[in-house]
Structure 1
Amino acid sequence: MSIFKWLNKFKRRRPPLRVPDTASSQAESTVISGSVEETLASVNRVLGNNDDLGIRRFHVFGTYPAAMFYYSTMTDQVMINADILKPFMYTPPHLEGKSIERSRLKETLMNDSLFHSEVTTEGRFDKLISAVLRGNTVVIVEGLTEAFIIGTRHIEQRAVDQPATEQVIRGPREGFIEMIDTNIGLLRYRLQTADLRIHTMEIGRRTQSKVAICYMDGITNPDLVEEVKRRLSIIEIDAILDSGYLEQFIEDNHLSPFPQVQYTERPDKVAANLLEGRVAIMVDGSPLALVVPTVFSQFYQTVEDYTERFLLMSAIRLARLVALVFSLVFPSLYVAIISFNPELIPTEFAVAVAGGRAGVPFPAIIEVLVIEISMEVLREATIRLPQQVGGALSIVGVLVVGQAAVAAGFASPITVVAIALTTIGSFATPAYNAALALRLLRFPLIVLAGIFGLYGVMIGLILIANHLLSLKSFGVPYMSPLVPGNFEGMKDLVVRGPLWWMNKRPTFLHPSDPTRISDKTLEQLKQPPVNVLDPLKFKESKE
């Protein structure tokens, strides 16, 4: 060890990297002087050379020089003209003919002149610059050391529409959009309670993106809320352009293919998770909200599991689990059985398989890998192509390529069928990021199956299971409530039990209020139904 210490002395030490100053960081933190000309000079120095920067000079009540500055591309011009210029320039009717001294000017403007709900005063210059960058309008008046910040933000946005990635048959049809204020409004519409808490912060040195942390006071564990705030507060990056940026910073294991943070664009799904004791994170500019902590069972559950009756949705959930298993192990099982254990195939079926593979010049592992890679390329091309063309490519492309590969002797029919079932199974997984992880792990399983047969498949599955058992999301074991076992949680694991069975919130979240359904409701459900329209009762009354 002494030799390494001696060599370290001769290492060339690099100087620390210096982050260049941005226009926002150049804004002085001092208070404004009260001079309109000096303040405008500072504004031009920081925000200058922008054609959409509007500066308008005028006189307050026809006496005091003033100016306002704003970005014309982010503000409502009608609001500026009607709600700012007119109140500032015209004296209120009840004060006409009276002298308004400078000492009473700020109070008069705030209490008698301005009729706008979003008006604050600020004396720090950097706060004024930040307000303008967010789409607000700043008004400075000669002699006042505090400026007026007026909310005039108006940015074109798309309408609230049906979520594109989470379609349902029975359930709400509204989804999040890019504007965070609209998303918070959709969430408050779902949770009309005073317990909903929303804390905001700004992340990103250059973008200053607004991030909202949402949770239910009295339900969510306070330690979880503090940990989410801590992980977000240590992020220092140039830009947060989407919630996916935050996901990569706050997850526990950065090298795992499995997602440890769930994302959704459905307000009802976020509301349901908040009521269980989770925390939601929303980013301005992203239509996808993050939900933490996350367990593996969430990725094969859908909103319809709870809006429909439990018997039907339990059967569909089981079919979804079968599709999930198919998408992971079916190709590797096929390779292992064809290459090493053909005696496991029934005799009649083995003859058909042998006849189909008679003219194929490649071993099973090469054949499956080539077809799998071709399917992944077709899938990616379908996603990236325009919507009008993508649907035709996904169907026609697969049919044409599969039939041509079989006719040319490049692949056997049974291989094409196996890969098709695998692809359909991956499409049946509701969460795209979880399906992507299973698609990625499919390839090492195929390689292990081609080398070691069924032993390789079992080794791969054991490694995957061991990795899943080691994962945690904000301290919650990833395989909860299966491992560690919890009877209450297992009511909603493989099958979906009746709603009155799940009267407790998930214990692995350690909520402050564990009760979801009151005991009074459960007692009433145990009573026999009242047959108010029983035909026999009406017949007896008539007789």
Structure 2
Amino acid sequence: MHARIGENGDVINREFLIFGKYRGAIVYLSSLVDEPSIYRDILKPLMLTPSHDKDLDVPCQELIDMIWCEYLHVSKGKNISEVSLILESLFQGNTLFVVEGSSEAILLDTRTIQKRGIQEPQTEQVIRGSREGYIEVLETNLNLLRARLQTPDLRITIKPIGQKTKSKVAVCYLNGITNPELIDEANKRLSKINTDGILDAGYIEQFIEDYPYSPFPQVQNTERPDKTAASLLEGRVAILVDGSPFALIIPAVFNQFYQTLDDYTERFIIGSLIRTIRLVALLFSLFIPALYVSIISFNPELIPTEFAVAVASGRAGVPYPAVVEILIMEVSMEVLREATLRLPQLIGGALSIVGVLVIGDAAVSAGFVSPITVVVVALTTIGSFATPAYNAAIAVRMLRFPMIILAGMFGIYGMVIGMLFIVNHVLNIDSFGVPYLSPFVPGNKQGLKDSLMRAPLWWMSHRPSHLHTLDNTRLSDNDQPSTDSVLQPTREER
């Protein structure tokens, strides 16, 4: 073992006498274990001679079994004899206990990891809902998930992935609801991953997605345990990785990426309105710059005369065509946005406001861009911020540039060509066999109740049909809101 471990300053080898007569030793990594518990639960019980058995004399193998059953105060452990497995477990935070003369050792679970507190997710903040988010410790994340799904049907399988990191990956699903074929496919794709290390859930996402060259994400990620629980109740599978505060949800379809928890915690009228605003913002961020370029460059007769005069006067003196002007401003905004994300929070907030105001005003004053272009780019940027999922927002931002170029080359026809390419692409991709535009294509009446608008909860009595769940019913017909006016005064009381 010493030859395999090499020089490691945090490897502790402590030899001692068991019950004052048998030679033994423990080996552990001080950086991964709870040392006070080792002293209290392992060394102290074994170094004290039992008063009732001072003349103890048993063979080594019987001694190992007796120590494990009577003296060790550790809840988890196992006997092991293979050196390769011993080393692997040792670097996972286990403590090795050996007795001279025995061919077996005992691995004791004494692992402890420093972790941050549970906080509100930074990327998925809500107005009305839980304030708990995942952290980097898998056991804590599973605790948050089980606290919301207190049922024996919640099944969790944990497997190590990564030849060097041995990262623990948990596959979670609800037995009796989730389609077994989906579970088997998820486990199959995970078993095919053969890499040195898995440091984040994003590594897993790139290995298991169906279309890696598509700009649209096919795996949803979330920091929220309540969102994960809701997805499991629908019949999906969640994948959590030790060391990552994100859970992956499969399969994922397009409409999941503009939905938030607020859509369900608020009344359905409010939730539908908010969702509609979000969809309008998404369309703004994708099509408004291209529409502006196509109208200014090719079809100015489509705008009212008074507005056309105002636009022409604003563009007087601008040396670039509209397409170049929009591209310069869009690239500048993307650079500014990326710089804001990488700066410290206090400085980044000031830069995002002051930078936009100063650069925009200076660009207009210098005659590089027109005021209407600044307004269009501002609307586009604000619209992209309204998309809840960061990876879906990046996909829209990425597609915005070819749409602008096509509009600058062919006008409205270029926009139509770009739209046809996008629609054709999303119609041809899927996530774990589920069409990406479900429930729109193929059409599903039950799924459409939770798509562009959100229907009342008591209308959504069945799970999404495109998931092919074993139990399709989630709400009985009797679970309808009560309309009895129990406190309304009777005629005699009036």
Aligned pair 1:226/2:180, yes or no?
Answer: no
1:422-441 to structure 2, matched below 5 A, reads: 422-441=380-399
The amino acid across from 2:210 in the alignment is: D
Tell me what 2:487 maps to: 533
1:138-537 to structure 2, matched below 5 A, reads: 138-522=96-480, 525=481, 529-536=483-490
- 1:538 and 1:103 map into 2 onto residues whose CA distance is 87
CA contact 2:210–2:431 (8 Å) conserved in 1 = yes
The amino acid across from 1:79 in the alignment is: S
Tell me what 1:115 maps to: 73
Q: Which runs of 4+ in 1 moved over 6 A?
A: none
Q: Which SS does the other structure have where 1:535 is aligned?
A: coil
- 1:158 and 1:407 map into 2 onto residues whose CA distance is 48
The amino acid across from 1:246 in the alignment is: I
- 2:184 and 2:101 map into 1 onto residues whose CA distance is 43
How far residue 62 of structure 1 moved from its aligned partner, in angstroms, is 1.2
Percent sequence identity is 59
Q: Which runs of 5+ in 2 are unaligned?
A: none
Q: Which SS does the other structure have where 1:426 is aligned?
A: helix
Aligned pair 1:44/2:2, yes or no?
Answer: yes
Task: Show CA shifts across 1:92-133 (max 9, x none).
Answer: 454345444434212211221112111221111112111111
Q: Which SS does the other structure have where 2:361 is aligned?
A: helix
The amino acid across from 1:420 in the alignment is: A
Task: Show CA shifts across 1:214-259 (max 9, x none).
Answer: 0110000000000000001011111111111111110001110000
Q: Which runs of 5+ in 1 are unaligned?
A: 1-42
CA contact 1:333–1:457 (8 Å) conserved in 2 = yes
- 2:119 and 2:52 map into 1 onto residues whose CA distance is 47
CA contact 2:231–2:249 (8 Å) conserved in 1 = yes
How far residue 204 of structure 1 moved from its aligned partner, in angstroms, is 0.8
CA contact 1:170–1:307 (8 Å) conserved in 2 = yes
- 1:397 and 1:215 map into 2 onto residues whose CA distance is 46
TM-score (norm 1): 0.89
- 1:92 and 1:329 map into 2 onto residues whose CA distance is 80
How far residue 189 of structure 1 moved from its aligned partner, in angstroms, is 0.6
- 1:477 and 1:91 map into 2 onto residues whose CA distance is 68
Query: In the superposition, relative to structure 1, how do residues 343 and 283 fare at CA in structure 2: closer, same or farther (>3 Å)?
Result: same
Query: In the superposition, relative to structure 1, how do residues 161 and 537 fare at CA in structure 2: closer, same or farther (>3 Å)?
Result: farther
How far residue 516 of structure 1 moved from its aligned partner, in angstroms, is 0.5
- 1:103 and 1:483 map into 2 onto residues whose CA distance is 65
> Which piece of structure 1 moves more, 302-311 or 91-100?
91-100
Task: Show CA shifts across 1:254-285 (max 9, x none).
Answer: 11000000000100000000010100111111
CA contact 2:60–2:99 (8 Å) conserved in 1 = no
CA contact 2:178–2:237 (8 Å) conserved in 1 = yes
CA contact 2:463–2:474 (8 Å) conserved in 1 = yes
Query: In the superposition, relative to structure 1, how do residues 348 and 204 fare at CA in structure 2: closer, same or farther (>3 Å)?
Result: same
- 1:416 and 1:145 map into 2 onto residues whose CA distance is 76
Task: Show CA shifts across 1:153-189 (max 9, x none).
Answer: 1121101111010000100000000011111111111
Q: Which SS does the other structure have where 1:521 is aligned?
A: coil
- 1:92 and 1:296 map into 2 onto residues whose CA distance is 66
How far residue 316 of structure 1 moved from its aligned partner, in angstroms, is 0.8
Q: Which SS does the other structure have where 2:165 is aligned?
A: coil
The amino acid across from 2:335 in the alignment is: V
How far residue 530 of structure 1 moved from its aligned partner, in angstroms, is 2.3
How far residue 531 of structure 1 moved from its aligned partner, in angstroms, is 2.0
Size of the aligned set, in residue pairs, is 494
> Which piece of structure 1 moves more, 167-176 or 102-111?
102-111
CA contact 1:92–1:113 (8 Å) conserved in 2 = no
74, 95, 99: which is aligned to 2:32?
74
CA contact 1:176–1:266 (8 Å) conserved in 2 = yes
